[in-house]
Amino acid sequence: NAGVTQTPKFQVLKTGQSMTLQCAQDMNHNSMYWYRQDPGMGLRLIYYSASEGTTDKGEVPNGYNVSRLNKREFSLRLESAAPSQTSVYFCASSEGSTAYEQYFGPGTRLTVT
Amino acid sequence: AQKITQTQPGMFVQEKEAVTLDCTYDTSDPSYGLFWYKQPSSGEMIFLIYQGSYDQQNATEGRYSLNFQKARKSANLVISASQLGDSAMYFCAMRDRGTSYGKLTFGQGTILTVHP
């Protein structure tokens, strides 16, 4: 069991470039989440997917899009990267609405210059 | 509106002593859950302990316990017999019915340093 995996681990982008962060879980969880973590702050929810085929905005969705490709995979896309999107991005998953524990991936450290 | 507040940016503790990390929360929902996560310098998020709003007893997991005071809306993490490996950032988080499907709201975190 790999748990939650994320690729890439590190990425440097120039302003205006696009990229997709990949996330996969092998725990058969229904719900998946994308968070960002900025220095001195806790994690803030970008988007979530309660179940396969559904996605919803979180607290800070602007500048991002997501795709729940199947039950295992949930990707986050930056269409036109901005320096304000420099952050560490975490993907997480949980069994569903009644689950109380979220399992986190190792994170992707993104720098936009 | 801020839902989770951790007022201690940093805490220091001597090895083998106990330490309390503060967390207060705000919700009007009678049904909610409170969580603590540990983030070591390597960056991963590690789940430590959970307390449900209807749980009658304070949650415990090994050296971790949660001092849950519902009327005061506080959910402090107590680490007993601190170890050097406990040095990390600690986050308090909450899920209430307004954040269904398991969404969590996190506090700003507290950096704990354990001295030998």
Rounded CA separation B34/B99 (Å): 13
User: How confident is the model over B29-50, as a mean pLDDT?
Assistant: 92
Instruction: Report CB contact under 8 Å: B109, A41.
Output: yes
A42 closest CB neighbour out of B43, B52, B109: B109
pLDDT at A45: 92
Instruction: Report CB contact under 8 Å: A48, B93.
Output: no
Q: Is the pLDDT of residue B67 over 90?
A: yes
> Which comes out higher in pLDDT, residue A81 or A96?
A81
pLDDT at B1: 54
Instruction: Report CB contact under 8 Å: B101, A88.
Output: no
pLDDT at B17: 97
Q: What is the pLDDT of residues A7-52, one digit of tens each?
A: 999 999 999 999 999 999 999 998 999 999 998 778 999 999 988 8
Between the alpha carbon of residue B67 and those of residues A4, B51, B54, the distances in Å are 30, 9, 14
Instruction: Report CB contact under 8 Å: B95, A92.
Output: no
* Closest alpha carbon to B23 in B37, B12, B13, B40: B37
Q: What is the pLDDT of residues A41-84, one digit of tens each?
A: 789 999 999 888 899 998 899 999 999 989 999 999 999 999 99
User: How confident is the model over A84-94, as a mean pLDDT?
Assistant: 96
Q: How confident is the model at residue B115 (pLDDT cuts 50, 70, 90)?
A: very high
Rounded CA separation B74/B17 (Å): 22
User: How confident is the model over B89-116, as a mean pLDDT?
Assistant: 86
In the block, tokens 């998020």 appear at: B45
pLDDT at A28: 92
- Interface mutation target, options B101, B105, B106, B110, chain A, most CBs of A under 10 Å: B101
pLDDT at B21: 98
What does pLDDT average to over chain B? 92
